[in-house]
Amino acid sequence: MDIDQLRQEIDRLDQELLGIFNARAAIALKIGEIKQTRGLAVYDPEREKRIFARMRAANPGPLEDEAIIRLFERVIDESRRLERMRTKGI
């Protein structure tokens, strides 16, 4: 493969990630609605610890575990922010 073909593959993967991120966010919003009706907190540190542990265990590389955790922290932060905005009616 040449560089243009590799970049096309990255572009395809980026599109796939975009869809996955938005699908995950939509599910997080549904979870946020359930949490709100049950009076549960948006932030669940134990859940996040389990996610991070699962991602570490499943990570085949080449990204280091710490890099994977940083990426998931950001995704989770954005999901949490979205949940908070929705519960405030923003």
- Of residues 72, 43, 44, the one with CA closest to residue 56: 72
**Total-model pTM:** 0.86
Would you call 41 helix, strand, or coil by DSSP? coil
Sign of CA dihedral 61, 66, 72, 74: negative
**pLDDT (tens digit, 9 = 90+) per residue, 33-87?**
999 999 999 899 999 999 999 999 999 999 999 999 999 999 999 999 998 888 7
- What is the token pair recorded at 64? 């280091």
- Separation CA 47–CA 28 (nearest Å): 13
Which helix or strand (DSSP H or E) is residue 54 part of?
A: helix 45-58
- What is the token pair recorded at 51? 């996610």
* Domain range summary for the chain, segments of one domain joined by +: 3-87
Given pLDDT bands bounded at 50, 70 and 90, which one contains residue 17?
very high
**pLDDT (tens digit, 9 = 90+) per residue, 35-48?**
999 999 989 999 99
Query: May I ask the CATH class of domain 3-87?
Result: mainly alpha
